[in-house]
Structure 1
Amino acid sequence: MTQTVRIGTRRSELALAQARQVAAALARLGVRSTTVAVTSAGDTAREPLSKLGTVGVFAARLRTALLENECDIAVHSFKDLPTQKIPGLETAAVPKRETAADVLVTASGAELGDLRQGAKIGTGSPRRAAQLKRLRPDLRIMDIRGNIGTRISRVRGLHPQAEGDLDAVVLAHAGLIRLGRTDIPSRILPILPAPAQGALAVECRSQDCPAPEKTHPLSPLARALENLNDPESNFSASAERAVLAGLQAGCAAPVGAVYENGILRAGVFSPDGSSALEAELPAAQYPHAGELGLALASLLLERGAESVAPLHLNKTRRSGGSGGDISPFAGSALWREEKQDPTAAANDISAKW
C-alpha cells in the first residue's frame, strides 16, 4: 500500500498514545501513517463532564475532521462515541481490546473497603459515582476533570510535587496500561464499566469501510482496516453499546455493561446509589452483538430500569473546540444523543460483524 494514511486523533496524552498504537498495528500490516491532531471541545471546556455530557463531546471535532477530509481515519475511545449512526461515517475496526475494568488509585494501593470513613474520591463519571455510593455510602464523591496525570496528582501522598486534596481517584485501567503507568498503585473495582470501555474504535468514511456486503474490490485502506479489526473485541464492545442504544440512555445516565466469558451483563443505578437493577444474558442464543444488547436492554426495561435511574439524562453541547458551532454539523448527532429507533441504532453498531 503506497498511500500514507492520515490518523486523526485528539491532542491528549492518552489519545496520542492510542493513535500510536493504531499506527504501530498498521505498520505491521505494511501501511504507512502520519498523525493529524485536533483539539475537541471536551478538551477545552471547563464544565464538569456530568454537565457536558461525556458521550460525543470528545468525538465531534474529530468526526468533523474526518468528514471534511482532514484525515483518513479517526481513532476514538469507543465508549466516547454516541450510538447513533453518522451519515457518511462507519466504525471500520475495533483493534484487540484492553481490559474494561475501572481501578481505584491511592497512594498506598488500598482497597475500596480500606479507605477511611468519609474518604474523598474523585471521578467525573455519574456511573462510577453511583456504584461507589452503593458500595460505600459514606464516601464523598468529588467531581473532577483533567487528564490522567492531572487526576493522579490530586491523590494525597502519591505525587511528590503535588500536595493532593483527594484520598483516591477512579480511572480506567486501560488508560494506565496504554500510558505505561502500571507502576501507579491501583486496585480493580467491583463495578460495571462503561459500555465499550478499554476498546478503541477506528472510524472512516463509508467508502473506505470493509463492509462484507460490498461487491466491488476493497480499497487498500479498507483491506488494512479489515485486518486491523479483532472480531471478538468488536463483538463485545458492540454488544455493550447496543444496551445503551436499547435503553436510549443519555450522556449522564449511570449505566454500565460488560461482555465476558460469553455473558453480557448490564446495570442501571440510581445517582445516589440507593438502588440498582442488573441483569445478564448468554450470547449463545444471539448470533449478532446488536441483537444480544437489545435483548438485554429490553429485559432491563421490563424490570423497571426507568424507575431506577433517569435514563435520558443528557446535556446538549453545541460549541466547537474553539468556540461557536461546528458547521455544517452543529446540533447533529456528532454532538448529542437524540431520540432514535433503538433497533436501527443497534443494527448500525454491529451489522457488519
Structure 2
Amino acid sequence: MTNEMTPIRLGTRRSRLAVAQSGTVARELERVSGRPVELVQITSEGDTNRASLASLGGAGVFATRLREALRAGECDILVHSLKDLPVEQPPGLVIAATPPRADARDVVITRDGITLDELPPGSRIGTGSPRRMAQVRRANPQAAVHDLRGNIDSRMGRVRDDELDAVILAAAGLVRTGSDDAEIPTVAGLSVEPRVLSSWPTAAGQAALAVETLTDADPQLLAWLGELDAPLTRFAVTLERAVLGGIEAGCHAPVGIHAQTSDGTVHVRAGVYDDESHNDVTLDHSERLDGFESLIEGYIQARGSGAAADSSGLTVRAREIGSELARRLLRYGAADIVNREAAPSS
C-alpha cells in the first residue's frame, strides 16, 4: 500500500444489490484500516446478457470479468456473492474474508399473502434457479414455473403488475437492499413468506459474501481483510461448497445445501433434485465437532495471512465433512441426477 490516504479500490458489479453489499464491506474495511475505500463498478457479461444463466455457463459468469479487473490492477479487492463463485479457486487469487453470513433463507413474494403451498393451480411462479424451480414443484406441483432474470426490483415489479403470482428471492438480498435490520424488511404492497431451511435448503454459500484479492497482495491489506472474516461462516460455507464440489455439481445446479453450527454441533441439510421428485436425493446430518473451539482459535490466528487460513484445521475439517457427505449423496444416486443435468440437450 502507498500511503494512508490512498483509497483501497473495491471492485463490484453494478447492480443495486452488489453495490449495497460491497458498501457494507467497504465501511467495515474503512473502520479496521483507517483508509478510504472507493467502489469500482465493473460490468460483467451476466449483467448485460439476458439469456438464462445456464446457457451462459452458470452463475460463475458474474465473477469472470471482475477477476480480470483484479488481475489487471483495476482494483485491489473484489466482493462477490459467494453462491456465484465456482467451487474451484483460480490460481493467484484467494478468498481473504467471509464476513458474517446474513439470512440464508429463500422467500416467496406474493401480492396477497397466500403461501406458496396454497397458491391455486396454474399460479405463475418466477425464478431463474433450477434448484428453486424444483423446490417450487415439490411444494406446489400444480404451479406454472417461469424462468426469470433481472434485479430484485424488476422481479418484484412483475408480481406487483400481475405478470406473475409469485417470485422466489433470497432473503439476504432484501435485507441488504431494503433494511439495516437483521430481519427481512416489509416489501411495500407485497407479502413475504420465508421458507424453512430444514425443508428448503438454499444454494451453497447463499447469503455469504466473499472478499477476494491476489494471493500476493500486500500483507497489511490481507491482515485488514482478516479482521472482517467470520470463522463460523467460513466453516459452514466451506463445508457446503465441499459437498457441491464432491458431487461435481456447478454453482447453478439443482442442489440445495445448508450447514449451521450450534453448541459445537454441525447440522447439515442437502437435497439434489431430479426431474421426477421420487428420484430426489436428500440427506440430513448432525455431527458433534470435538475440539471445535480450538479449531476456531487456530483459524483466527491464521486468518489475515491469505492462503494459510484456507489450510487451517477449521477449513480442513469442514472440507472433510463436506467430502464425506458428498460421497454419501453419490452413493444414494446423486451422480445420476447431476450427470443428466450437465448433459447437453438434444
TM-score range, shorter chain: 0.7 to 0.9
Give yes or no for contact 2:98–2:228 (8 Å, CA) kept in 1: yes
Give yes or no for contact 2:271–2:281 (8 Å, CA) kept in 1: yes
Distance 2:142 2:240 in 1: 30
1:86-235 matches, cutoff 5 A: 86-155=90-159, 158=160, 163-180=161-178, 182-184=185-187, 185-190=191-196, 191-208=200-217, 219-235=219-235
- Asked if 1:72 corresponds to 2:76, the answer is yes
Distance 2:82 2:252 in 1: 16
Structure 1: 5+ residue stretches without partners: 209-217, 316-353
Q: CA deviation at 1:283?
A: 4.4
Cα 1:31–1:231, aligned 2, differ >3 Å: closer, same or farther? farther
SS at match of 1:249: coil
Q: CA deviation at 1:126?
A: 0.1
Higher relative contact order (CA 8 A, sep 6+): 1
Give yes or no for contact 2:269–2:285 (8 Å, CA) kept in 1: yes
Cα 1:22–1:251, aligned 2, differ >3 Å: closer, same or farther? closer
Give the root-mean-square deviation of aligned CA atoms: 1.9
Q: CA deviation at 1:151?
A: 0.3
Select which of 47, 54, 79 maps to 1:43.
47
User: Partner letter of residue 192 of structure 2?
Assistant: S
Q: CA deviation at 1:134?
A: 1.5
String of CA shifts for 1:269-327, please: whole Å, max 9, x gaps: 11354431111333435852111111110110111112344466278xxxxxxxxxxxx
Select which of 12, 17, 28 maps to 1:14.
17
Higher helix share: 2
Give yes or no for contact 2:238–2:318 (8 Å, CA) kept in 1: yes
Cα 1:231–1:314, aligned 2, differ >3 Å: closer, same or farther? farther
- Asked if 1:303 corresponds to 2:332, the answer is yes
**TM-score, L = length of structure 2:** 0.82
Cα 1:105–1:272, aligned 2, differ >3 Å: closer, same or farther? farther
Between the two proteins, what is the percent identity of the paired residues?
A: 43
Structure 2: 5+ residue stretches without partners: 180-184, 291-313
Distance 1:289 1:50 in 2: 28
SS at match of 1:137: coil
String of CA shifts for 1:243-289, please: whole Å, max 9, x gaps: 11101103542011001232122110113544311113334358521
Select which of 323, 331, 342 maps to 1:294.
323
Distance 2:58 2:273 in 1: 17
Distance 1:283 1:205 in 2: 35
SS at match of 2:342: coil
